Structures are given as structure tokens and as C-alpha cells.
Amino acid sequence: MDPGVFRSALVLFAHPDDAEFMCGGTVARWVREGCEVHYVCITDGSAGSNELGMTRDKLRPIREREQLAAAEVLGVSSVTFLGEQDGMLEVNQDTRRKVCRQVRRLRPEVMLAPDPSRMWYGDGYINHTDHKRAGELALSAIMPDAPTRLMFPELLDEGLDPYEVPNLYLVVSEPEVFVDITGTIDLKLKALAQHASQLEADEVEPLVRGRASTTGERAGVEYAEGFKAFRFVDED
């Protein structure tokens, strides 16, 4: 069930804390096994509070600090913030170029990203528009932007040659590939706890354990995270 370890991974996500929710256990496990993991956080997380008196300018550095702390818990090698405005993410030439730049620079063996087709979950949660757009930006980078020489030729001037990402892991609700995170779920929870402006660690723990346990049942382990895995390059 487990595809093994990649040499390098890029996690592309919309907001500080998304990566930990999506795949924090997988990141911790892969890092432990020698994979170099890089984060690219597309927005600044500046809308993540309804507290009276809070402003985007006040929140931005808090979210950035929390994301860096969470990444450190998991052993992530680098975190790049693209600085788009939280809640207003658009898929356009500008954001596609920004994501493409990071993919060509980091040249990961696998990219992890949210499912862009996810409109809602069950009957109690509408998926954030930024999450869908982050997923769409991941797909645009994989095909056609990053591998195509004539897409964003200005990136060639930055020394960023075309690059074909060989593997994509999308975080989907009906996963086909599972990563056993029994040994790293505690690190996932510890990383999530760094996002103190967003969540109460005590409240989030049962939710995270419950979800990972349900996925784990399908995988035949205690806790798991699940993905839809694409492979774009022939084995030979």
C-alpha cells in the first residue's frame, strides 16, 4: 500500500496550517526516512481570524511564524511564502508563474496538493475557495506550465529550465494510496498545535485522530493519510 520514499517533495497549499492538516504525518514520516520536503504556502493567511480589532497586517506575521514553527516540528527543509491575499486567491498568469517558478526551482520528485474539484465535505463544510485554487495551481504547474519551454519564457532568463514533476499526490476524500502515519501522528498533532491563532490543540486532536483512524482502517494500520497518486513518467 505504501509507495516507498521519495528523495524530495514539494507541498503546495493555500494557507498556513493546510499542509499539516493535509499531510503532516506523511511529511514527518518521509523526512524521517530521508526525503527532503519543501513547503510552498501560497497565501499569507491574513484573513484567518474573526477577532474584533484583528487586522490583516497584524495577523500576517503571526501566521508566518506559526507556519515556520510547524514546519520545524516536522523537519521541513524550507518554507516559501508567495504572499497572495488570503481569501482572494485567483488562478491567473501571475499566480501560475509564481507557482511554476517554485516547481522549476525546487524540482521535486513528488508534489502534494489539495483536490481542486472538492466543493464541499458531507453536509457541514464548504471547501474554502483558496483550497480549490491551490489545487488548480498545482495541476497547472504540472501540466503545462513547468515542463513546457514556451510557458513563461521569462523564467528561462532566471535560469529555471523546464521540469516535469514525475509524481503527484492529491489529498482526496476517496484515497487509493495510503501512508502509514502511526509512528508520526503525534508529530502531526504537535505541528498543528503551533497554529495557536487558528485552533485549540485539545479540540483538534480527536478530529485528527478520528480521520486518520478511519483512513487507517482502509489501509490496515492504526493511523494513515490517503492520496490519489499520479505517476507521469515511465518506469524505464
Residues that bind Zn ion (CB under 5 A): 15, 18
Nearest of 139, 155, 117 to residue 230 by alpha carbon: 139
Find the shortest distance in angstroms from Cβ 16 to Zn ion. Answer: 8
**First and final C-alpha spacing in the chain:** 22
Find the shortest distance in angstroms from Cβ 137 to Zn ion. Answer: 14
C-beta closer to Zn ion: residue 17 or 145: 17
Give dist(CA 180, CA 197) in Å, integer: 29
Find the shortest distance in angstroms from Cβ 18 to Zn ion. Answer: 4
C-beta closer to Zn ion: residue 45 or 216: 45
3-state secondary structure of 231: strand
Measured at CB, which residue is nearest to Zn ion? 15
C-beta closer to Zn ion: residue 18 or 145: 18
C-beta closer to Zn ion: residue 18 or 225: 18
Find the shortest distance in angstroms from Cβ 69 to Zn ion. Answer: 17
Torsion, Cα 133 22 56 39, to 10 degrees, reads -90
Contacts of 204 (CB under 8 A, 6+ apart): 189, 192, 193
Determine contact, residues 138/111, Cβ cutoff 8 Å.
Answer: yes
C-beta closer to Zn ion: residue 6 or 81: 81
C-alpha cell at 72: 520545524
Find the shortest distance in angstroms from Cβ 131 to Zn ion. Answer: 6
Find the shortest distance in angstroms from Cβ 194 to Zn ion. Answer: 15
Render 145-204 in DSSP notation, one character per residue. ITT-TTSSTHHHHTT-------EEEEE-SS-SEEEE-TTTHHHHHHHHHT-TTT--HHHH
C-beta closer to Zn ion: residue 15 or 96: 15
